[in-house]
Structure 1
């Protein structure tokens, strides 16, 4: 990782910047309201932001239920990709999950997103199955992946 970044919990004051990262990253982005509801009303949700020079350049989120963490979102602004920042973000999210008692972590990733799948495999994730027609924008299948955190 070549640039200096800091991690901290996401707050409602971060939502506008996070939505910009979301919109730059996904074809079916979450809305401002979705993030607001996650932060304000979902007691299982934990989100972190990655900050560079005072600007949010990435974020990640998960739901923590009993001893399992389920990744909801991971995104880095396109101009900051290819610098191992996604890996740093995922490692921080995995560590946060462990600190909250999670023994396993799961996620879904588009079957066509080989870059993300490669990162997840590097972090120890394994294939768990396929969710058919999972993504609403084009009905692409999702690959379910999981990893033991303990």
Structure 2
């Protein structure tokens, strides 16, 4: 089941961030997104009532930007990331967005393959994008032709 993220989810989401990312967002980062960012959309994916995945994105008029997507390592390979990607795409389309974009580490081949499966293409490289090790990021984008319905 996928539902909107709430404040009661933040401890678990923060745990997953630390498991999955070298530059994890903290609880306060997610709290800010939920409370103060009118462009933000965050969802959690549950397996047997436990949060095993989550995603976030911003809808900025005609463009949506994916901010995060993650699935706990023990639940990877079950298609959950694809389900979260579909939620992002569906919601962005309904918001009238024409494009979706994201940044991904050049070393993160599994994520790149997921995005390519959804039709994203690499349009640029952002040099030294990540502050922890100055790794480059690929800027990937997809046209979605939002319906605004």
CA distance in 1, matches of 2:132, 2:89: 28
Per-residue deviation at 1:92?
1.4
Decide which of 19, 27, 37 is 2:22's aligned counterpart.
27
CA distance in 2, matches of 1:59, 1:101: 22
Cα-Cα RMSD: 0.8
CA distance in 2, matches of 1:97, 1:14: 22
The gaps in structure 2 that reach 5 residues or longer are: none
Per-residue deviation at 1:71?
0.3
Q: Which runs of 4 or more aligned residues in structure 1 lie more than 6 Å from their structure 2 counterparts after TM superposition?
A: none
Q: How does the TM-score come out when normalised to structure 1?
A: 0.94
Decide which of 83, 103, 111 is 1:108's aligned counterpart.
103
Per-residue deviation at 1:94?
0.9
Per-residue deviation at 1:107?
0.1
The gaps in structure 1 that reach 5 residues or longer are: 1-5
CA distance in 1, matches of 2:64, 2:23: 22
CA distance in 2, matches of 1:37, 1:54: 25
For residues 81-114 of structure 1, give each alpha carbon's deviation from its aligned partner in whole angstroms, at most 9, with x where no partner exists.
1122111111111111111111110000000001
Q: How many residues align?
A: 145
Tell me what 1:64 maps to: 59
Q: How does the TM-score come out when normalised to structure 2?
A: 0.95
CA distance in 2, matches of 1:39, 1:57: 19
CA distance in 2, matches of 1:83, 1:76: 10
